[in-house]
Structure 1
Amino acid sequence: MSIKTLCFFYFILIVINTIAAQNGSIKGLVQDNQTLEPIEYASIAIINPITQLVVNGDLSNKTGSFLIKNIKPGNYKIKVYFVGYEELLLNNIIVVNNQNVQLGLIKLKIASQALDEVVVKGKKMNSSNKIDKQQYKASQFETAKGGSAIDVIKNLPSVTVNGQGDISLRGSNGFMVLVNGKPVLTDAATILSQLPANTIQNIELITAPSAKYDPDGKGGIINIVTTKGSTDGFALSANAMGGLASTDDYNNLEKPKRFGADITANYKKDKIDLSVTANYQRNDNNGYREGDAYTRDFDANTITRFPSNGERSFDKYNYSAKTALLYTANKNNSFNFGFYLGKKFQARRADLVYNNSTSDLTTDAVLSTFPYFNSNVQTKEGKFTLVNFDYTHTFSNASTLTASTLYEHANLHGNTINLNMDYPAKETVFQEVNNPYTNPISGFRFKLDYAIAIGEGKLESGYQYRNDKQDGTFGYTFNPEPVLPVDNSQFRGTAKTQNHINAVYSQYSGKSEKLNYIAGLRYEYAQREVILSTDINPYLLNFSNLFPSANLLYTFNDAWNAKVGYSKRVQRNNNSELNPIPEREHSETLEQGDPDLLPQFVDLAELGINHAFKKGTFFTTLYYQNIKNPIQRVNSVYNDTILNRVYTNAERARLFGLELGTNLKPKKWMSLYFGANIYNYKINGDLDILGETSTVNNSDWVYSLNANGTFNLDKNWSLTANVNYTSAKPTAQGEDSQFLSPNMSVKRTIMNGKASLGLQWQNVKFGDMITNQQRITTFGNDFYTTTNYIYETNVLLINFSYNFNKLSSKNKLPTSEFGEKEF
Structure 2
Amino acid sequence: MNKLFYLCLFIFPLQILAQTSSIEGIIIDKTSNTPLEFTSVSIYNSVDSTLLNGAVADLNGKFIIKGIKKGSYYLKVQFLGYDSKIISAINLTGKNLDLGKIYLNPDARFLNEVKITGQQTQSFNKIDKQIYKADQFAAAKGGTAIDALKNLPSVAVNGAGEISVRGSTGFLVLINGKPVQGDAQTILSQLPANTLENIEFINAPSAKYDADGKGGILNITTKKGASDGVSMIANIQSGLLSTTDFGNKENQQRYGGDITFNYRKEEWDISASANYLRNDNAGFREGDVFTINNNLKTTFPSNGERSFNKYNYGGRFNIGFNPNKNDAFSLGFFAGYKFQDRLADIYYNNTKTNSSGQVVGRKQYFNSNLQNKQGDFVLGNIDYTHTFNNKSTLTFSTLYEYDKLYGSTKNRNIEGADTAQNTLSTYENPLNGLRVKLDYSVNVGAVKLEFGYQYRMDKQDGDFIYRESYFGGPFTTIPLFTGNVKSRNDIHSLYGQFSGKAKKLEYVGGLRYENAKRDLTVSNINNDFKLNYNNLFPSASILYDLEKGYKLKVGVSRRVQRNNNFELNPIQEREHSETLEQGDPNLLPEFVYLAETGIIKSFNKGSFFTTLYFQDIKNPIQRVNSVFADTVLNRIFTNAGKAQKYGLEFGTNLEPTKSWSLYLGANFYQYNIKGSILTNAVNVNNNGFVYSVNFNTNVNLSTNWSMQGNVNYLSSRPTVQGEDSRFLIPNLSLKKTFLDGRLTALLQWQNIDLGMNESNKQRITTSGADFFTTTNYIYETDIFMLNFSFNLNKLSRKLKLPGSEFGDKEF
Same fold (TM over 0.5): yes
User: Which residue is equivalent to 1:401?
Assistant: 394
- Take 2:435 and 2:623, find their aligned partners in 1: how far apart are those partners? 30
- Take 2:494 and 2:261, find their aligned partners in 1: how far apart are those partners? 37
Q: Which moved more, 1:273-282 or 1:474-483?
A: 474-483
Q: Which moved more, 1:555-564 or 1:776-785?
A: 555-564
Is 1:770 matched with 2:758? Answer: yes
Counterpart among 192, 196, 216 of residue 196 in structure 1: 192
Decide whether the 8 Å contact of 1:372 with 1:422 is kept in 2. yes
Q: Please report how far the alpha carbon of residue 185 of structure 1 lies from its aligned counterpart in structure 2 after TM superposition.
A: 2.0
Q: Which residue type is aligned with residue 715 of structure 2?
A: S
Q: SS at 2:526's partner residue?
A: coil
> Deviation per CA, 1:175-218, whole angstroms, max 9, x where unpaired?
11111111112322111111111111111111111111111111
Specify whether residues 784 and 479 from structure 1 end up closer, same or farther in structure 2 by C-alpha distance, changes over 3 A only: same
Is 1:756 matched with 2:744? Answer: yes
- Take 1:89 and 1:303, find their aligned partners in 2: how far apart are those partners? 87
> Deviation per CA, 1:155-175, whole angstroms, max 9, x where unpaired?
111111010001111111111
Counterpart among 121, 136, 141 of residue 132 in structure 2: 136
User: Which residue is equivalent to 1:255?
Assistant: 251
Q: Which residue type is aligned with residue 317 of structure 1?
A: Y
User: Which residue is equivalent to 2:631?
Assistant: 641
User: Which residue is equivalent to 1:376?
Assistant: 369
Counterpart among 154, 166, 172 of residue 168 in structure 2: 172
Give the 5 Å matches for 1:575-614.
Answer: 575-614=565-604
Q: Which residue type is aligned with residue 326 of structure 1?
A: G
Specify whether residues 475 and 666 from structure 1 end up closer, same or farther in structure 2 by C-alpha distance, changes over 3 A only: same
- Take 2:37 and 2:582, find their aligned partners in 1: how far apart are those partners? 51
User: Which residue is equivalent to 2:32?
Assistant: none
- Take 1:482 and 1:422, find their aligned partners in 2: how far apart are those partners? 13
Decide whether the 8 Å contact of 2:490 with 2:518 is kept in 1. yes
Structure 1 unmatched ranges of 5 or more:
1-32, 39-48, 51-78, 92-107, 815-823
Q: SS at 1:213's partner residue?
A: coil
- Take 1:630 and 1:600, find their aligned partners in 2: how far apart are those partners? 6
Q: Please report how far the alpha carbon of residue 694 of structure 1 lies from its aligned counterpart in structure 2 after TM superposition.
A: 1.1
Specify whether residues 37 and 450 from structure 1 end up closer, same or farther in structure 2 by C-alpha distance, changes over 3 A only: farther
- Take 2:247 and 2:436, find their aligned partners in 1: how far apart are those partners? 51
Counterpart among 736, 742, 753 of residue 730 in structure 2: 742
Specify whether residues 121 and 366 from structure 1 end up closer, same or farther in structure 2 by C-alpha distance, changes over 3 A only: closer
- Take 2:595 and 2:80, find their aligned partners in 1: how far apart are those partners? 26
- Take 1:381 and 1:481, find their aligned partners in 2: how far apart are those partners? 30
Q: Which residue type is aligned with residue 645 of structure 2?
A: L
User: Which residue is equivalent to 1:18?
Assistant: none
- Take 1:661 and 1:507, find their aligned partners in 2: how far apart are those partners? 29
Q: Please report how far the alpha carbon of residue 126 of structure 1 lies from its aligned counterpart in structure 2 after TM superposition.
A: 1.1
Specify whether residues 402 and 595 from structure 1 end up closer, same or farther in structure 2 by C-alpha distance, changes over 3 A only: same
Q: Please report how far the alpha carbon of residue 506 of structure 1 lies from its aligned counterpart in structure 2 after TM superposition.
A: 0.8
Is 1:332 matched with 2:326? Answer: yes
User: Which residue is equivalent to 2:413?
Assistant: 420
> Deviation per CA, 1:39-62, whole angstroms, max 9, x where unpaired?
xxxxxxxxxx99xxxxxxxxxxxx
Decide whether the 8 Å contact of 1:233 with 1:269 is kept in 2. yes
Q: Please report how far the alpha carbon of residue 375 of structure 1 lies from its aligned counterpart in structure 2 after TM superposition.
A: 0.5
- Take 1:146 and 1:693, find their aligned partners in 2: how far apart are those partners? 48
Decide whether the 8 Å contact of 1:225 with 1:811 is kept in 2. no
User: Which residue is equivalent to 1:291?
Assistant: 287
Specify whether residues 514 and 89 from structure 1 end up closer, same or farther in structure 2 by C-alpha distance, changes over 3 A only: farther
Paired residue total: 719
RCO higher in 1 or 2 (8 Å CA, sep ≥ 6)? Answer: 1
Q: Which residue type is aligned with residue 754 of structure 1?
A: R
> Deviation per CA, 1:580-628, whole angstroms, max 9, x where unpaired?
0000001000001011000111111111001112211111111111111
Q: Please report how far the alpha carbon of residue 124 of structure 1 lies from its aligned counterpart in structure 2 after TM superposition.
A: 3.3
Is 1:312 matched with 2:306? Answer: yes
User: Which residue is equivalent to 2:238?
Assistant: 242
Q: Please report how far the alpha carbon of residue 810 of structure 1 lies from its aligned counterpart in structure 2 after TM superposition.
A: 5.2
Q: Please report how far the alpha carbon of residue 544 of structure 1 lies from its aligned counterpart in structure 2 after TM superposition.
A: 0.3
Decide whether the 8 Å contact of 2:365 with 2:415 is kept in 1. yes
User: Which residue is equivalent to 2:530?
Assistant: 540
Counterpart among 209, 214, 228 of residue 210 in structure 2: 214
Q: SS at 1:577's partner residue?
A: helix
- Take 2:522 and 2:702, find their aligned partners in 1: how far apart are those partners? 64
Q: SS at 1:290's partner residue?
A: strand
Q: SS at 2:194's partner residue?
A: helix
Specify whether residues 517 and 245 from structure 1 end up closer, same or farther in structure 2 by C-alpha distance, changes over 3 A only: same
Q: Which residue type is aligned with residue 124 of structure 1?
A: Q
- Take 2:670 and 2:763, find their aligned partners in 1: how far apart are those partners? 20
> Deviation per CA, 1:404-445, whole angstroms, max 9, x where unpaired?
11222222111011011124xxx3211111110111111211
Q: Please report how far the alpha carbon of residue 138 of structure 1 lies from its aligned counterpart in structure 2 after TM superposition.
A: 1.2
Is 1:496 matched with 2:489? Answer: no
Specify whether residues 211 and 249 from structure 1 end up closer, same or farther in structure 2 by C-alpha distance, changes over 3 A only: same
- Take 1:85 and 1:606, find their aligned partners in 2: how far apart are those partners? 37
User: Which residue is equivalent to 2:380?
Assistant: 387
> Deviation per CA, 1:452-482, whole angstroms, max 9, x where unpaired?
1112021111000011110000001010399
Q: SS at 2:547's partner residue?
A: coil
Q: Which residue type is aligned with residue 350 of structure 1?
A: A
Q: Which residue type is aligned with residue 525 of structure 1?
A: N
Counterpart among 256, 267, 275 of residue 271 in structure 2: 275
- Take 1:117 and 1:267, find their aligned partners in 2: how far apart are those partners? 29
- Take 2:644 and 2:184, find their aligned partners in 1: how far apart are those partners? 22
Q: SS at 2:571's partner residue?
A: coil
- Take 1:628 and 1:201, find their aligned partners in 2: how far apart are those partners? 36
Specify whether residues 677 and 89 from structure 1 end up closer, same or farther in structure 2 by C-alpha distance, changes over 3 A only: farther
User: Which residue is equivalent to 1:102?
Assistant: none
Specify whether residues 494 and 359 from structure 1 end up closer, same or farther in structure 2 by C-alpha distance, changes over 3 A only: same
- Take 1:187 and 1:792, find their aligned partners in 2: how far apart are those partners? 25
- Take 1:793 and 1:37, find their aligned partners in 2: how far apart are those partners? 48
Which structure has the larger Rg? Answer: 2
Is 1:523 matched with 2:513? Answer: yes
- Take 2:226 and 2:728, find their aligned partners in 1: how far apart are those partners? 38
- Take 1:111 and 1:750, find their aligned partners in 2: how far apart are those partners? 27
Decide whether the 8 Å contact of 2:468 with 2:475 is kept in 1. no
Specify whether residues 435 and 686 from structure 1 end up closer, same or farther in structure 2 by C-alpha distance, changes over 3 A only: same
Q: Which residue type is aligned with residue 412 of structure 2?
A: L
User: Which residue is equivalent to 1:98?
Assistant: none
- Take 1:757 and 1:289, find their aligned partners in 2: how far apart are those partners? 35
TM-score, normalization by structure 2: 0.85
- Take 2:223 and 2:583, find their aligned partners in 1: how far apart are those partners? 39
User: Which residue is equivalent to 1:444?
Assistant: 434
Q: Which residue type is aligned with residue 207 of structure 1?
A: N
Q: Which residue type is aligned with residue 746 of structure 2?
A: G
Specify whether residues 117 and 720 from structure 1 end up closer, same or farther in structure 2 by C-alpha distance, changes over 3 A only: closer
User: Which residue is equivalent to 1:321?
Assistant: 315
Q: Please report how far the alpha carbon of residue 447 of structure 1 lies from its aligned counterpart in structure 2 after TM superposition.
A: 0.4
Specify whether residues 318 and 122 from structure 1 end up closer, same or farther in structure 2 by C-alpha distance, changes over 3 A only: closer
Decide whether the 8 Å contact of 2:190 with 2:336 is kept in 1. no
Decide whether the 8 Å contact of 1:773 with 1:789 is kept in 2. yes
Q: Please report how far the alpha carbon of residue 484 of structure 1 lies from its aligned counterpart in structure 2 after TM superposition.
A: 15
> Deviation per CA, 1:708-766, whole angstroms, max 9, x where unpaired?
11101001110000011111000000000001100000010012210111100000013
Q: Which residue type is aligned with residue 510 of structure 2?
A: G
Q: Please report how far the alpha carbon of residue 641 of structure 1 lies from its aligned counterpart in structure 2 after TM superposition.
A: 0.7
Q: SS at 2:147's partner residue?
A: helix
- Take 2:139 and 2:433, find their aligned partners in 1: how far apart are those partners? 36
- Take 1:88 and 1:629, find their aligned partners in 2: how far apart are those partners? 61
Is 1:349 matched with 2:343? Answer: yes
Is 1:152 matched with 2:151? Answer: no
- Take 1:476 and 1:35, find their aligned partners in 2: how far apart are those partners? 63
Counterpart among 708, 715, 730 of residue 718 in structure 2: 730
Q: Which residue type is aligned with residue 514 of structure 2?
A: E
Decide whether the 8 Å contact of 2:469 with 2:476 is kept in 1. no
Q: Please report how far the alpha carbon of residue 87 of structure 1 lies from its aligned counterpart in structure 2 after TM superposition.
A: 9.6
Decide whether the 8 Å contact of 2:181 with 2:401 is kept in 1. no
User: Which residue is equivalent to 2:15?
Assistant: none
TM-score, normalization by structure 1: 0.84
Q: Which residue type is aligned with residue 411 of structure 2?
A: N
User: Which residue is equivalent to 2:92?
Assistant: none
> Deviation per CA, 1:2-57, whole angstroms, max 9, x where unpaired?
xxxxxxxxxxxxxxxxxxxxxxxxxxxxxxx989899xxxxxxxxxx99xxxxxxx
Structure 2 unmatched ranges of 5 or more:
1-34, 41-47, 50-75, 89-103, 800-805
